[in-house]
Amino acid sequence: MSEFRILAISGSLRKGSYNTASLRAAQELAPPGVTIEIAEIGDIPLYNDDIREKAYPESVQRLRKQIAESDAVLFATPEYNYSVSAPLKNAFDWVSRPPNQPLMNKPVAIISASGGPIGGTRAQYHLRHMLVATNSHPLNNPQVMIGNAASKFGEDGKFNDEVGRELIQQLIEALVIWANKLRGKS
């Protein structure tokens, strides 16, 4: 059986990001045969169609290639002003443009973490709306929304919430099943 590859994209650029830490937890919890690579989006320039028409910047080409070569994508989004972060929206805008849109028909899953009690719920819903534009296939359940994140991550950045860790593990397992189902595999 070949390795199942998930590209993980954090919408937070902060060094101590709970969203990036949740993706590191997903890497730890991934079942055998599943690898999760965390993408870099901090070096992607602001979207400008004049630039795109000339050529995609190298950082954008890298992300587009990573998405295209993955079996599925796992987003981790903070919630900024009831929506996704600017870095995530910017990266999304770059990869959603033709030709060869890498998110087209791609199975995806979403995690969100925030300091507030509802864990980035509104950002997840906005990201789901954005995924309609790329005809991506978001996994519906389980939903992983990490509220009051400061109390669930240690000073070392490790995700310590056992229920949340179980949900992340279930999400990764369900994403693999979902992606295989979409590809016609059981």
Pick the CATH number of 4-182 from 3.40.50.360, 1.10.10.10, 3.20.20.150, 3.40.50.150: 3.40.50.360
Q: What pLDDT is stored for residue 69 in this prediction?
A: 98
Q: What pLDDT is stored for residue 185 in this prediction?
A: 77
Q: Running along the chain, 186 residues long, what does each successive block of 10 average in pLDDT?
A: 91 96 98 98 97 96 98 97 97 95 97 94 97 97 96 95 97 98 85
Q: What pLDDT is stored for residue 186 in this prediction?
A: 61
* DSSP-assigned letters across all residues of the chain: -PPEEEEEEES---TT-HHHHHHHHHHHHPPTTEEEEEPP-TTPPPP-HHHHHH---HHHHHHHHHHHHSSEEEEEE--BTTB--HHHHHHHHHHTSSSS-TTTT-EEEEEEE-SSTTTTHHHHHHHHHHHHHTT-EE--SS-EEE-SGGGTB-TTS-B--HHHHHHHHHHHHHHHHHHHHHTT--
